[in-house]
Chains A and B, each alone.
Chain A
Amino acid sequence: MDVFPAGHPLLQAQQLKHTFRTGRCALQSVNVTIHAGEMVAIIGRNGAGKTTLTKHFNGLLKPTAGTVLVGGQDTRRVSVAQLARTVSYVFQNPDHQIFHGRLFDEVAFGPRNLGLSGKELDQRVASALDAVNLAAYVDRDPAELSRGQRKRATIASVLAMKTPVLILDEPTSGQDYQESRQIMAILQQLHQQGHTILLITHDMELVQEQAQRVLVLGDGQLLLDGSPDELFRQASLLQIAGLRRPPIIDLQHRLEELGLTASVPTAESLAAALASRIQQGPSVHVDPTPGRNAACP
């Protein structure tokens, strides 16, 4: 990954426009640059253009107008196979991706195409399956696994590729709480190792906890490029983009009306702030009719 030092502009969309054959304009003039080593969440309603945008970064879609550069190269001039060495992709629906009858072969498919074989290949597959808790299923037919397990199988496939960029469409859908945590821990670790990670997600808690940068899409346009904190303070934008604050942020903002703050909002830190205020005695400054409309979209 030395090819892409941290901060290097790695994925660039310039005046990107995409119109489908049906005539629907899915992206209109999107400008965005993702730098090497970033962890970026892409959010918005179903149909906002999130998947259309990210499919330009692995070359599955080519711009109708404008330019997309991956590692400085115009995706129109590079094959999808070539781009697969830089960018790997987990689709929203695992069944659009899985095509082998044995889990090992499914996960080994990408690395084999990179020219790996023998022990190195075995090791890659084993550690990828281990990371997503599917080691015991290595010889099973993916069709026999649950949807959540199949989703993790596709995540193992991209882990085995070790590409500089990973794009994941709804990595935690169909997962329970622990599994979601585990997947996020894996991605966090890859991020720390210098991988660039793009997440498409509807899970606002995940956005709040994991992303440094958020791209909000709505009707094919980039509505916001900023931090999760900036996003959660813009009630009108949240409404336009069909998003919700995660409950903990909602609670934090509501308690701010009571003059309570916590630098890292958790239920525990907010409770501690509240408890210490109670010890100071009943407050006379509390407005009995707080500006509820200001905090709740």
Chain B
Amino acid sequence: MPKITIDNLSFAYPDTSTEALKEIQLTIEPGEFVAITGATGAGKSTLLRCINGIIPHFQPGTLQGAVYLETSAGRSAVGRVSTPHLARYIGSVFDDPEGQIVSPIVEEEIAFALENTGVDPTQMDERIQHALDDCGIAHLRQHPTNRLSGGQKQRVAIAAALALAPSILILDEPTSELDPDGTEAVLHVLSELHRQRGITVIIVEQKINLLAPLCDRLVLMDQGRIVLEGPPRQVLRQADVFTQLGIELPVPARLMHALVKEGALPPLDSPGAPPVPLTVDEAYTLSQALLTGS
């Protein structure tokens, strides 16, 4: 289970004067669930590409600093690890469900990833079954991939990544093309993988209202920098940063900030302040407590 250490990382794409990433400093512990958000051009996808090795292995540019994978065996910079080796540690899923599936049948799609990494055919059946089970799509094993819904396709993409038994899953806006059911199914799978299998999940998302209750850490990026990061309840206290960066503050947190403004709650940084609600249920409970005076 590698820990990820990002040390003073800067990156500029070729023929550009501005850096897409500026002096990024971040440590991600094994088994952490990290959600990254920010406006277009903030550097979110570039950061993911530096972690999974697309930068520098496939995408040229000017890289300073490094991303390290640390295991008990030692630490190595992602740029110096061969890509087949990286693929065993890190699985990646992208935003376009159409663009990443290559096989006509679901099980062939999963097998494709296994074949590419030279997995023994006698092991394949079990690995495929496991990956499909973990994503809640075992019933789709013999399904044609072109008949799947967007949410099912994204779960197939996650299963294909999982079949390689990575300890880190990286996802770039995996729900942006999905309907509400598909979105919920995908996020549920991620949360289970994190909880039950201890997989490190690093996800870039706009839907912070859905991620805040699931993640251990929320990272806000702007113009290539990390502006704010920490446990979601802590990060959501800083409503002004959300406004500044043009990131939508989830409704439960907005209710709490509005209650402080109304004088119904003490300032959020004062000792007796209740924790910021992450869900509508928590916002309801807080409101009920205020009304009953408890």
Give A contacts to B, CB under 8 Å: 44-47, 92-93, 146-149, 170, 173-179, 202, 204, 242-244, 247-248, 250-251, 254-255, 257-258, 260, 267-268, 270-272, 274-275, 277-278, 282-283, 286, 288, 290
Indicate if the CB atoms of B284 and A255 lie closer than 8 Å. Answer: yes
Please count how many residues in chain B sit with their CB below 8 Å of the partner chain's CB atoms.
46
Indicate if the CB atoms of A242 and B250 lie closer than 8 Å. Answer: no
The residue from B39, B178, B181, B288 contacting A176, defined by CB atoms under 8 A apart: B39
Known: A255-B284, A258-B288. A177 touches B251 (CB 8 A): no
Indicate if the CB atoms of B149 and A173 lie closer than 8 Å. Answer: no
The residue from A173, A176, A271, A288 contacting B40, defined by CB atoms under 8 A apart: A176
The residue from A92, A242, A268, A277 contacting B181, defined by CB atoms under 8 A apart: A242
Indicate if the CB atoms of B206 and A274 lie closer than 8 Å. Answer: no
In the complex, the chain A residue whose C-beta lies closest to that of B286 is A274
Mark each residue of chain B from 175 to 202: 1 if its CB lies under 8 Å from any CB of chain A, else 0.
0111111111000000000000000000
Indicate if the CB atoms of A178 and B259 lie closer than 8 Å. Answer: no
A-B contact pairs, 28 of them (CB 8 A): A44-B179, A45-B149, A46-B150, A46-B179, A92-B177, A147-B95, A174-B176, A176-B40, A177-B206, A202-B180, A242-B180, A242-B181, A244-B180, A251-B255, A260-B287, A267-B255, A267-B257, A268-B261, A271-B259, A271-B261, A271-B262, A272-B258, A274-B287, A274-B290, A282-B292, A286-B288, A286-B292, A288-B292
Distance of A185 from chain B, by nearest CB (Å): 14
Question: Within 8 Å CB of A267, what residues of B?
Answer: 251, 254-255, 257-258
Known: A93-B98, A254-B284. A282 touches B291 (CB 8 A): yes
Known: A92-B177, A176-B206. A250 touches B263 (CB 8 A): no
Indicate if the CB atoms of A247 and B176 lie closer than 8 Å. Answer: no
In the complex, the chain B residue whose C-beta lies closest to that of A245 is B280
Distance of A149 from chain B, by nearest CB (Å): 8
The B interface, classified by DSSP as helix, strand, loop or mixed, is helix
Question: Within 8 Å CB of B293, what residues of A?
Answer: 282
Give B contacts to A, CB under 8 Å: 38-40, 95-96, 98, 149-151, 173, 176-184, 206, 209, 246-248, 250-252, 254-255, 257-259, 261-264, 280-281, 283-284, 287-288, 290-293
Indicate if the CB atoms of B178 and A202 lie closer than 8 Å. Answer: yes
Indicate if the CB atoms of B173 and A174 lie closer than 8 Å. Answer: yes
Known: A47-B149, A170-B177, A202-B180. A278 touches B264 (CB 8 A): yes
Distance of A270 from chain B, by nearest CB (Å): 6
The residue from B262, B284, B292 contacting A272, defined by CB atoms under 8 A apart: B262
Indicate if the CB atoms of A268 and B246 lie closer than 8 Å. Answer: no
Cα–Cα, bound, A283→B292 (Å): 6
Indicate if the CB atoms of A275 and B262 lie closer than 8 Å. Answer: yes
Question: Within 8 Å CB of B255, what residues of A?
Answer: 251, 267, 270-271
Indicate if the CB atoms of A251 and B179 lie closer than 8 Å. Answer: no
Question: Within 8 Å CB of A260, what residues of B?
Answer: 287
Indicate if the CB atoms of A250 and B280 lie closer than 8 Å. Answer: yes
Indicate if the CB atoms of B291 and A278 lie closer than 8 Å. Answer: yes
Distance of A294 from chain B, by nearest CB (Å): 13
Cα–Cα, bound, A278→B261 (Å): 14
Question: Within 8 Å CB of A270, what residues of B?
Answer: 255, 258
Indicate if the CB atoms of A258 and B287 lie closer than 8 Å. Answer: yes
Question: Within 8 Å CB of B284, what residues of A?
Answer: 251, 254-255, 257-258
Cα–Cα, bound, A278→B265 (Å): 11
Cα–Cα, bound, A272→B291 (Å): 13
Indicate if the CB atoms of A286 and B264 lie closer than 8 Å. Answer: no
Cα–Cα, bound, A290→B285 (Å): 11
Indicate if the CB atoms of A45 and B264 lie closer than 8 Å. Answer: no
In the complex, the chain A residue whose C-beta lies closest to that of B181 is A242
Cα–Cα, bound, A288→B285 (Å): 10
Indicate if the CB atoms of A274 and B180 lie closer than 8 Å. Answer: no
Cα–Cα, bound, A277→B290 (Å): 10
Indicate if the CB atoms of A146 and B264 lie closer than 8 Å. Answer: no
Question: Within 8 Å CB of A148, what residues of B?
Answer: 40
Distance of B184 from chain A, by nearest CB (Å): 8
Indicate if the CB atoms of A274 and B259 lie closer than 8 Å. Answer: yes
Question: Within 8 Å CB of B247, what residues of A?
Answer: 176-177
